[in-house]
Each structure stands twice: as C-alpha cells, then as structure tokens.
Amino acid sequence: MELYFLGTGAGMPSKQRNVTSIALNLLDERGTYWLFDCGEGTQQQIMNSPVKLGRTEMLFITHLHGDHLYGLPGLLTSRSYLGGDTPLTLFGPPGLKRFVDTALEVSGAHLTYALKIVEIVEEGLLFEDETFKVETARLEHRIESFGFRVIEKDQPGKLMLDKLTALGIPAGPIYGKLKQGQTVQLEDGSTLHGADFLGAPIPGRIVVILGDTRYCSGAQLLARDADVLVHEATFAMDKQELAYSFDHATSTDAARIAQEAGANALIMTHISSRYQGDAVLELLQEAQHHHSNSHIARDFWSFEVPRKG
C-alpha cells in the first residue's frame, strides 16, 4: 500500500505543483489503484507517473471546487482510449453526477466501461468488501467537503509451517485450506483446525485523506489512530486569519489534528503557491513542532504506508 501524490498545490497550478490529486496504490492488496480528487491536468500527471489509469477501480471526490474536480471529464474519457474496460465507481458530494453527465453529454463522449456514480448523502460507512472498508465524514469548508478513512481489514496470520512439518503434513491443498482458517479432516480420521496453525492476525492499515477543511471535529473523528493522515496545509501560522476566512487549514492546524487523533504520520498537501522552494520548510517546521512525524508532499512523491510493529 503506497500513497502517490499527483498534485499537491492549492487553488491553481504553479510551476512546482499541480492541483490536487492523490493515488492510493493497492496493486499488492487488490490489483488496482484508488484516486482521490482529480484537479485539472491529473491525466497528464498520471502519464508522467507509474499510476495506471486503466487499473483505477474507484475515484473519490472530496468536494466540487474546480481544483479538485476539473480534470475528471478528460480522465474518464482517456480511460476509454487507454483500453480501460473494467467498471469504475465515483464517490462524491451531491452535484457530482450532474457535473459528469453534463460534461459527457455536451462533449459527445462515449465510455467503454461501466461508470457508477455514488453521491454521498450520509456520513459513516461508504464502502465495504472482504478486504477494505471506507468511512466518510463532513469537514468544514465553504462548500460541502468530505474526508475519507480507508481501513484495511486484518489479515490472517502466517501459517505455522514448522508445526505442520512436525506432524508430517505435506505441502499442498491442505495448507491452503488451513491458511483460510478452515477445518480439514485427514485420511486417518484426525482433524486439523486452521486456527491452531495460524499466527496472530496481521493488523490492517488505516489511511485518512481529507478534503479542504479548517480545523474541525470531523477531521479528528476520521484521523483517530490512523497510520497516515493526509491533511491540507494551505498556509503557515502567520496567515491563520486568512486561512480561517477561506475555511482552510494551516500547517499547525494539521499537526494539531494529527497529534490529538493519535495519527502516526502526517502528510501535508494543498500548499499555497506563495510557498515556493525552501519557503515550504516554514510549514514543515511549524508542523513538526507539534507532531514530529510530519512530511510535506510534493508532486510525484510517494509514501509507503507501514504496517504496525
């Protein structure tokens, strides 16, 4: 599981940062990518990255401001041109379906895959299958904005091969059944229970990606005990009043949320274009004063999500 930052700027693109988009690499876990936000130029950023658009499974839009949304029509049609034929699901606030349907209709676009659009009307569980679940909550911004909590479910522990070898159990289908926790009856009539041959479960990881927001309880709720929290940090602390007036966060706000929620790593993104070059270090230093494990994202930078322990 790896976060890959396609765009890390705020408001409008700059020479150093494109507008917001993040890929969550789940190739090892489910053979796909999930995308979060799709600012203008996202498909161009993808072309210069290892992300494979055709293997994108889900796309989460935090809110409907243009720097998080305007790249969507081009990305959807390009996915067809690149041979994408597997279903794609979009999640986002009310109005997302109207935006997408209008753009595709007016441009005469034809998609070669099934597109499902889910508009978020309630906080809580948004998606769940056997490997992951996604929870959402409202944040505080000028328009409705959501954050997403991606929870990897615990995995079965490692199979105790030495214990099976000691019993004279040969490698084969029996190992697979035990690994799945099943009960197996041997030819001699004895019974093996999968739970007796598995180590402790491997804890799943939690990745939290927030939309634009100022310091708020929704961010705290989603970020609790996260392995990684991705939080906007549009301004430094000396621009606190400006940040608040536009419903944005400072680097200190982001670090406070991470610290209070018990998040492990904080990654700050959505950086104002006023922080060019080494000026961005001001944001990092302010955050690290409150939360030592803080990072500033940059375009085409990746972060591997560690497992606990």
**Would you list which residues are annotated within the binding site for Zn(2+)?**
63, 65, 67-68, 141, 212, 270
Alpha helices in 108-203 (DSSP H): 161-166, 173-179
Compute the distance between CA of residue 4 and CA of residue 56 in angstroms, rounded to an integer. 13
Q: Catalytic pick from 28, 37, 67, 253?
A: 67
Can you say which residues are annotated as belonging to the binding site? Answer: 63, 65, 67-68, 141, 212, 270
Compute the distance between CA of residue 160 and CA of residue 172 in angstroms, rounded to an integer. 14
Instruction: Give Cβ neighbours of residue 11 (< 8 Å, ≥ 6 apart).
Output: 19, 67, 272, 273
Alpha helices in the chain (DSSP H): 27-30, 42-47, 72-81, 96-107, 161-166, 173-179, 217-223, 240-245, 251-261, 281-290
Compute the distance between CA of residue 46 and CA of residue 28 in angstroms, rounded to an integer. 19
Does the annotation mark 67 as catalytic? yes
Residues with catalytic roles:
67
